[in-house]
Structure 1
Amino acid sequence: MPIFSEINIEKIEWKNIQHCCTFVEDDMISQDGLYNDFNHIKSKYIVLREKYDGITKQVQSFILSNLGTSKRAEAPLHDEDSAHDDGCNATNDFDSDSNDDDEHNAKCHKEQKENLSIRSDYLWAYLLDGERVPNLQKLVQFVFAIPVSNGYCETVFSHMKYLWNNNRNRMKQNLVRAEEKIKMNTNCTSTAFYDHLLNKSDLLKQIRSSNK
């Protein structure tokens, strides 16, 4: 979802957020609540951008204050892979002495400089910090693959104790990985899965064969 890599939150429109929601289950996010959350955070971004020496320094200060001492040197505060705005480059292809072009170029290069000095995930973490925007928070967590708690990871390790024990230590890692994915990501009951297999003769043949 490239829209969440956009540093200038003001450029993001509601239709972009709606498109991202198509990748998430409907019952996870309220559209009305998400609309209110998005407008609130967007307004917050616009206000903060004009205060305290710009949004970049605010995000950098926030990230450094929340990282452990050992991780501060490891975590880059800017996104070195950020692309420049093509609109700025296009303007530079023409020789013009007009003040409008000069102002446009100056604005573009200022935005480029700021965009290269901040990471999008850090920006969203800063904007969401301390805010009650549950619907937007769920969407951002989904986009950046951020677990809402360590409960999911603990469940994975709990399953691993039974999937790869002393009696099953010859299983290949790919098989264990496949079992984990099924256990963690499916809501299908054992009875429903059994009935599904009975109706899939081709799948049953593959299960019985040695070529899996």
Structure 2
Amino acid sequence: MTSQITEMINKSGFYSLSFDASNKGHKKMFPFVVNYFTVRGNERSVIEVIELVNETADHIVASLREVLQMNNIDIQNMTSIGADNTNVNYGRIHSVFSLLKSDIPHLKKGIREIDQIKFHQIEECVVFLKLEIDHDKLFDELNILQSTFKEVNSYREPLSDQIRKYIGDDAHNFSGDIINDQNNESQNEQDLFHKPTIEIHEKENQIRSDQLWAYLLTKSTTLCSEMTKVLANVYSIPCSNAFAEGVFSHMKHAWTPSRNSMSTETIATELKIRLNSKIKCEDFYSFAQSQPELIKSAKSKQKYSYVKKRVLANANREDLL
């Protein structure tokens, strides 16, 4: 599963990395989350959950580098980092951001209808992002995608229904995640409990802009490589750190008092399965039933024969800095 995520990230070309910290007993746990653009819109995945004793900028950066290296992800393709707004993460002097910025100059801290976008706005975006783009090709691709937008809008079937069929179940699930993220960050609890049913229904059925662009790129008869590069960079930057923070809610349910003897590696693996897997429970159950060796291993009290890959949180990491 993780190798497939890595392949999609590398194919996208750009990604952001978000992280957060929370105590579980005497342990300080750090989930690392990636955000990236795919042919079906934005994806968010947990690539690692580690225990980190020293919460200093140096140790966080060293762990971050090791996690990326362990998963064969190029750090130079990182567009932004997302974390709590603390001096350790975003301070001007010797913070996670400043340490990474020295190696990744383009690193950043965490619109209109498509047919109304002007080319100079795209050019300004390219300049801001410091991307190497063929501007002539980009101009042609923008015109192609705007024509595609007008064409699909002229169909009898509503555009939202077309995109929903293309995206499939992910359209509803991902939109729901984003809506929950926005609700969790709202400061007005009264708004959450008194929103009209129609408004909630409209939000649940809305299509996100990243899904719209992904659909247009697929419907286009031309390979819009330059526009894809711009979109992959822009959409790799998340609007909040809510997904990384949400990992701890899942960790609370996975690491219950009755399971407090489980290793951090086991919990990390379970969290990655929970948050990265798209297979339905009944489908996984059917798959597991057809794998006698898997069932035998699950019931066995013997030690596993494979060697675990783990992030050496307490080791000397000066060579990684």
Give TM-score, length-normalised by structure 1: 0.42
Instruction: Please state which structure has a larger fraction of its residues in strand.
Output: 2
Instruction: Please state which structure has a larger fraction of its residues in helix.
Output: 1
- The structure having more radius of gyration, on CA atoms, is 1
Give TM-score, length-normalised by structure 2: 0.29
